[in-house]
Amino acid sequence: MIHVENLTKYYDDLLAVDHINFDVRKGEIFGFLGPNGAGKTTTVRMLSCLTKITEGEAYINGYSVKKDKKMVKKSIGVVQDTANLYGDLTVKQNLKFIAELYGVDKKRVNEIIKEFELPADRKFEKLSFGFKKRATLAAAVLHNPPVLFLDEPTVGLDVRSSYAIQKLILRLNKEGHTIFLTTHNMQIAEKLSHRIAIINKGKIVAIGNKYQLKTLLKKKIKIEVEISNIQKQITSELQTFSPRIEGNKVIFFAEDVHEFLEQFYQITKKYNIKTKSINTVLPSIEDVFLEVTK
Amino acid sequence: MKKAYYIAKKDFFEYFIKPPTLSWGITFPIAFALSFLIRGKDLFFLAPGLITLASFFGTTSMASAAIVFERRMKEFERMIVAPLDYWEIVLGKMIGSFLFGMLTSIVTILFIIPLLGMYSLNLGTLGIALVLSSLVFAAFGVYISMMINDPRNVMVILNSVRFPMMFLSGVFIPLNTYPFMLQIIAYALPLTYEIELLRWVLTNNSFLNPFITIFGSIIWILLFFVLSIWALKRRY
Ligand SMILES: Nc1ncnc2c1ncn2[C@@H]1O[C@H](COP(=O)(O)OP(=O)(O)OP(=O)(O)O)[C@@H](O)[C@H]1O
Ligand SMILES: [Mg+2]
């Protein structure tokens, strides 16, 4: 549904997206995960004809983004990273205007207002943040596009609104929309996406479903220990196990549990550290993310 | 074509009663015109310029509200992402500004005509002059608004274009008393043509021949229309 070849973007001298390649299959939710400034928004903007492609090619629904802009635009719905409906117009006026731009029957406006449970007669700027996101999502699907681009659709939302948006995304996917979803939230990427690409500094550093991504970890065993007091020595002397402090726990990664336990025991003895608990847990996408975006 | 109309309609409802459009578009020109008319002796000379300035400020303010502010909030990108042609976007934005320009010039005329006792006007030629000049300014305003890179500077940039034009286009001093170099500049400014056209309609005593001003207006409209499409294409 989306085919991207060597897609590259320079803003003057700044290389924002660096020769990326990927395919998004029909019916899929494709998570595009990356830290701030990685190039997620720039990628979405290139694919939705909002900024010029410096180099490379992209095809959406079979149409070239460079040459066949109008057909591409008909095939996509875009939720940008800002709530960009018209503030002074009501939700209904906004949706009507968008229906006019896309040549969609006005009846569909009322349908979608119901479907998304939107307050039709409130001005857009008066809506809560969560409803603004809902309304922009409704505006993006008004013309029933096969492909949806959602740029950080849940960022800044409280748990309940975020959950509601996630449910909507899953429903839209079930109804047949292929979804390209950018986020820097691993849980959401992991929960919603069929496949995930991780982008860092403009480059795709990992791609695949969550099981495939986890096989990318060199040290596949994740160990969580709780100790009496966290001291520098424990992280510095056990550097080979990629230690990371999270709250009152220290996380290690090992290829071999036995090897880890031996060294860990020596260090705790040497510095007189007491171990309260020790567990092995399954690595998460977050662990993969932290490793590949180092 | 229809989509251009939808854009204009939306802008009309959204911006016609917004404070910046109102103050720069109506209050300012009217106050300005009145203050001159009350003091000025040469009412017949000043009237065409003041009415044209009202339309000039009105359309360009409207264009900047409907384009620059929308670009800042990324609402403008809704139209880029939709399957529209660039000329439809430019035309839509132009029509919205044009309507506002018509409104401001008509309002100003209703103020000024009774003061001057000009009751035997040819409404046909007056209409043509107002339509042409509002279209020129609308196209000009759209082009400037497309070119501005940083939306925060919009008023500064707009006024740094508007005020010099105002003083160089023969509003306050007759064109034929300008030094030669300034006359050349005046004839390179769209505002001059529109003031001269209206001067011909109102007083039948213009420096430029009406055929030149009408033909010139059409050229300005086409030029800024094409330049705006080009500016839009360059950006997206
Ligand atoms: N219009 C622009 N002009 C110049 N540089 C830009 C522009 N937009 C983005 N950049 C730069 O390009 C890089 C990628 O930015 P981008 O917005 O695509 O990242 P992102 O992954 O969406 O980040 P975030 O999570 O913060 O939204 C950044 O270094 C950013 O500063
Ligand atoms: Mg972003």
- Structure confidence at residue B228 (pLDDT): 96
Q: How confident is the model at residue B41 (pLDDT cuts 50, 70, 90)?
A: low
Q: How far off is chain A from B83, nearest CA to CA, in Å?
A: 5
> Do residues A135 and A84 lie in contact, with contact meaning Cβ atoms separated by under 8 Å?
no
Q: Mean of the pLDDT values across residues B155-163?
A: 87
CB-based contact, A38 to chain B, within 8 Å: no
Q: Which among A92, A100, A109 is the top mutation candidate for probing chain B, defined by the most B β-carbons within 10 Å of its own β-carbon?
A: A100
Q: In angstroms, what is the span from residue A195 Cα to ligand 1's centroid? A: 23
Find the range with the poorest average confidence among A23-27, B153-157, B187-191: B153-157
Instruction: Name the more confident of B39 and B82.
Output: B82
Contact list in A for residue B3 (CB cut-off 8 A) is 100-101
Indicate which atom in ligand 1 lies nearest the CA of residue A202.
14
Give percent above pLDDT 90 in chain A: 68
- Structure confidence at residue B35 (pLDDT): 73
- Structure confidence at residue B66 (pLDDT): 87
Q: How far apart are CA B92 and CA B228, in angstroms?
A: 12
Q: How far apart are CA A146 and CA A143, in angstroms?
A: 9
**C-alpha count within 13 angstroms, C-beta hemisphere, residue B141:** 35
Q: How confident is the model at residue A129 (pLDDT cuts 50, 70, 90)?
A: very high
Task: Express each pLDDT in A246-259 by its tens digit.
Answer: 888 899 998 888 88
Q: How confident is the model at residue B166 (pLDDT cuts 50, 70, 90)?
A: confident
Q: Mean of the pLDDT values across residues A174-188?
A: 93
Residue spans in chain A of domains classed CATH 3.40.50.300: 2-208
- Structure confidence at residue B39 (pLDDT): 67
- Structure confidence at residue B104 (pLDDT): 85
Record the tokens describing residue A219, joined without a space.
Answer: 């040290």
Q: Please report the residues numbered 221 through 250 in chain A whose beta carbons come closer than 8 angstroms to any beta carbon of chain B.
A: none
The CB of A109 under 6 Å from ligand 1? The reply is: no
Q: Which among B78, B86, B236 is the top mutation candidate for probing chain A, defined by the most A β-carbons within 10 Å of its own β-carbon?
A: B78
Considering the domain A2-208 in this protein, what is its CATH number? 3.40.50.300
Instruction: Name the more confident of B235 and A57.
Output: A57
The 8-class DSSP code of residue B26 comes to I
- Structure confidence at residue B129 (pLDDT): 93
Q: How far apart are CA A184 and CA A165, in angstroms?
A: 16
- Structure confidence at residue B25 (pLDDT): 63
Q: Mean of the pLDDT values across residues A261-288?
A: 87
Domain count along chain B: 1
- Structure confidence at residue A100 (pLDDT): 95
Q: How confident is the model at residue A19 (pLDDT cuts 50, 70, 90)?
A: very high
- Structure confidence at residue A215 (pLDDT): 79
The 8-class DSSP code of residue B40 comes to -
Contact list in B for residue A100 (CB cut-off 8 A) is 3, 6
Give me the helix-helix angle, B123-147 and B210-235, nearest 10°.
30
Contact A84 B77 (CB under 8 A): yes
**φ and ψ of A236, to 5 deg:** -75, -40
Q: How confident is the model at residue A71 (pLDDT cuts 50, 70, 90)?
A: very high
Range of the domain at B9: 2-235
Q: How confident is the model at residue A67 (pLDDT cuts 50, 70, 90)?
A: very high
Q: Mean of the pLDDT values across residues B157-186?
A: 87
Contact B73 A84 (CB under 8 A): yes
Residue A145's closest CA among A101, A189, A193?
A: A101
Q: How far off is chain B from A194, nearest CA to CA, in Å?
A: 26
Cβ-proximal residues to A50 (8 Å cutoff; 6+ apart), any chain: A44, A78, B77, B80, B81, B236
Ligand nearest to the CA of A80: 2
Q: In angstroms, what is the span from residue A45 Cα to ligand 2's centroid? A: 10
Q: Does domain A216-292 have CATH number 3.30.420?
A: no
> Do residues A7 and A46 lie in contact, with contact meaning Cβ atoms separated by under 8 Å?
yes
Q: How far apart are CA A118 and CA A134, in angstroms?
A: 8
Q: Amino acid identity, residue B34?
A: L
Q: How far apart are CA B71 and CA B154, in angstroms?
A: 11
- Structure confidence at residue A187 (pLDDT): 87
The 8-class DSSP code of residue B42 comes to -
Q: How far off is chain A from B81, nearest CA to CA, in Å?
A: 6
Indicate which atom in ligand 1 lies nearest the CA of residue A199.
21
Q: Is the pLDDT of residue B21 over 70?
A: no
The CB of A34 under 6 Å from ligand 1? The reply is: yes
Residue spans in chain A of domains classed CATH 3.30.70: 216-292
Q: Mean of the pLDDT values across residues B24-34?
A: 68
CB-based contact, B236 to chain A, within 8 Å: yes
Give the pTM.
0.87
Q: Which residue of B has its CA nearest to A84?
A: B75
